[in-house]
Amino acid sequence: MSKMWSGRFREPLDPAFESWQRSFPFDVRLLPQEVAASKAHARAIAAAGILTDTELSKMLDGLDRVIPLSVEEVTKLTPAESAQASLEANLAGIVALNPQAEDIHHFVELQLTKLIGDLALKLHTGRSRNEQIATDMRLFVRDAIDQTLDGLLAWREALVEQARSASDSVMPSYTHLQRAEPVLIAHWLLAYVAMLERDFTRLVDCRNRLNLCPLGSGAIAGATLALDRTIAAEALGFDGPTPNSMDATSDRDFALEFTQALSTLGLHISRFAEELTLYSTAEFGFLDLPERFSTGSSAMPQKKNPDLTELIRGKAGRLQGAALTLATIVKGLPLAYNKDLQEGQEPVFDAADTVLGILALLPGFTRALRFRTEAMKAAAEKGYLNAMAAATYLTYKGVPFRKAHEKIGQAVRLGLETGRELNQLTLEELRGFGEEFGADFFDAISLKATLDCHDVIGGTATHRVRDAVADASRRIASD
Ligand code: ARG
């Protein structure tokens, strides 16, 4: 009786089909979740009278021993036992040693039977793998969200530290990748803080919605025993049981929301990576890539390549892929459980691994960035980035903005033709475009004034940015 379902079958499975349909090679990583969910179910069926107290404690003890032994325990074993244990201590080893296990649920049942005998076969009373996998995946995603949130907080701290040390340093901002207006470097960095804080709340929302327990939903119609579903829900730290068994066994919204939130987070991280890749070129010259996060070329000795930011851009593509793969799998599935759902596990694992890999590096990389503030300032001073501030100056003199725009456009044209910036034109020349120009014009278009005229909530005026950095620091302290 090595299979969980062989009773009604007369023929063995085609061997190629058998190994092709197994999920154990990848769902083995759900071992901790499967054991926790099984312990919770054991408590629920004990309360329903299926297990005696002694049986329950034997079962819980056995389930604890299903997880490969910890290092401390390994050291207490005989050499033969420890050879076996250390093999089992890695998941690939577990898969290799258990070719008969169809999936993680089957594996745990087989292991438990080895450990506690036929009592193990009572564990599946009143439950189905359909609710088990839904529960394991929720637990996995919940944990992955918690780790991602930690990573996001660490990245935020690094960005805010950089914003603080950038102080009043300026850089050009770009629209259409053409120089637009000067901004504070801190303002640019805080743009990414705004993005990641949205990502953070999206993941928190997803976590709140997913935190209901499918155990007790049975195969589709609800458990065949009158289980108290709150027992398992509480044991697993869920807020309560899911409300509908058909939905609970086939719902993968939590995985969709998780991968979709990660795909959006991936877009943000990728834009950051793209900007840094660009700014580190000789053409921009805004920053020196930290050597410990860069690589060289085997052919061109002079190269220092931005592999970290390039790989982030590439990995963001995988995150998009995970969300799309999952949506495509779920689309058009009739209720309730269908085996197609098994294909939805790997994209979730891959997305979690990918984002956690990125977030393990990004804070350190962000902290190691050194901006060439002189070059950034020089770029902010050249190319008429003060033209909009100049037009605004005229509006204070009563000129309608449309006309002011035209006059400053003409001044820019003169500057372009004579190789000068607006502040290098003479007052006489400017007056040729309108008598509203006064001697105070030059102060109004200085770099400082050009920044400080953006004195609105969310603008780049120096005091606004200082406040924004202080606000972000406060959020770091309180989150
Ligand atoms: N390995 C399966 C999965 O991941 C577990 C659920 C199997 N259920 C079933 N009715 N065959 O989806």
Q: Which atom of ligand 1 is nearest to the CA of 219?
A: 10
Atom of ligand 1 nearest to the CA of 345: 4
Nearest CA to ligand 1 atom 2: 342
Give the binding-site residues of ligand 1, using a 6 Å CB cut-off: 23, 27, 103, 129-130, 133, 337, 339, 341-342
Report the nearest-CA residue for atom 12 of ligand 1: 342
Question: What is the whole-number distance in angstroms between the Cα of residue 360 and the centre of ligand 1?
Answer: 32
pLDDT at 9: 87
DSSP 213: B
Encoding tokens for residue 156? 């935020």
Distance (Å, rounded) from C-alpha 137 to C-alpha 329? Answer: 16
Supply the pLDDT for residue 79. Answer: 58
Element (H, E) at 210: helix 185-210
Q: Look up the CATH architecture of domain 382-478.
A: Orthogonal Bundle (1.10)
Could you say which residues of the chain have pLDDT below 70? Answer: 1, 68-90
5 C-alpha to center of ligand 1: Å?
Answer: 12
- CATH homologous superfamily for the domain 21-122: Fumarase/aspartase (N-terminal domain) (1.10.275.10)
Nearest CA to ligand 1 atom 11: 339
Q: Give the per-residue pLDDT at 71.
A: 46
Active site residues: 176, 297
The answer to whether the CB of 443 falls within 8 A of the CB of 465 is: no
For the chain, give every domain's residue range: 21-122, 129-378, 382-478
Instruction: Give the position of tokens 């296990």.
Output: 101
- The per-residue pLDDT for 87 is 45
Count other C-beta atoms under 10 Å from residue 457's C-beta.
7
pLDDT given at position 95: 85
What span, in angstroms and rounded, lies between the C-alpha atoms of 306 and 293?
8
In sequence order, the 6+-apart residues with CB closer than 8 A to the CB of 246 are 220, 221, 335, 336
| β-bridge partners, 305 | 295
- Per residue in 155-174, is it b (16+ CB within 10 Å) or e — as a string? bbbbbbbbbeebeeebbbbe
Looking at ligand 1, which atom is closest to the CA of residue 104?
A: 1
Coil vs helix vs strand at 471: helix
pTM strictly above 0.90? yes
Give 228's DSSP letter: -
Q: Report the complex ipTM.
A: 0.96
Q: What is the distance in A from the centroid of ligand 1 to the CA of 1? A: 18
Give domain 129-378's CATH number out of 3.40.50.2000, 1.20.200.10, 2.30.30.230, 3.40.50.11270. 1.20.200.10
Rounded-to-integer distance, Cα 420 and Cα 383, Å:
9
Distance between Cα 132 and ligand 1 center (Å): 9
CA–centroid distance, 129 to ligand 1, in Å, is 6
> Which of 13, 124, 127, 133 has most ligand 1 atoms within 8 Å of its beta carbon, as the pocket-test mutant?
133
